[in-house]
Amino acid sequence: MALARLGKVVPKTSILFLCDMQEKFRPTIAHFPQIVAVAARMLQVAQLLEIPVVVTEQYPQGLGPTVPELGAEGLRKFPKTCFSMLVPEVEQELGALPHLRSVLLCGIEAQACIMSTALDALERGLDVHVVADACSSRSQVDRLAALSRLRQSGAFITTSEGLILQLVRDAAHPCFRQIQKVIKDPAPDSGLVSLFPGQSSGFS
């Protein structure tokens, strides 16, 4: 069975996508501080493991810059107006990564830019891992429905810590102690448990 169908991830064939975590969304997105904090963890780990990173901004003239607490100040920002992150400039970045297999996806909003990005990446034959505790929406109904829809379409719905530990794979990894410091405390609660009562979970 192909590794892509198993959902295994390795740093050298992965890329981290950070989608539209901008100032104007701060008051409207549910659990925004927690979502950004978890995405910041993913960014720290990506930098430690030398995983390429793409950061987009939706109409930055109106929606403002990427929030500073994400920790992406030194990274190029790709402006866009379409919902998918796969604008031509980002496609060029992907084209420079011939061994790319996996997109690790964080950001907002789940039913809009996360959905469009994931579907476009899946259509290109890439393995998409949606970091559920690093994605949200204004409406939690939209967030829940989007996670379920993405899973139906073939994306892997995961958590930040689960994905980080898959990437590092071994406590003997030279970066493990640094990564251990990043995940020492549990990821902040972004309301996922309340979305999934009983057996109606998008993870089941």
Residue positions annotated with a catalytic role: 20, 80, 113
* Dihedral of the alpha carbons of 129, 130, 134, 140, in degrees to the nearest 10: -170
Chain centroid offset of residue 11 CA: 14
Give the residues across from 103 on adjacent strands: 15, 128
Sheet containing strand 127-136, edge to edge, reads 77-80, 53-58, 14-19, 102-108, 127-136, 156-158
Strands (E), 24-149: 53-58, 77-80, 102-108, 127-136
- Phi, psi at 27, each rounded to 5°: -80, -10
Instruction: Give the chain's length.
Output: 204
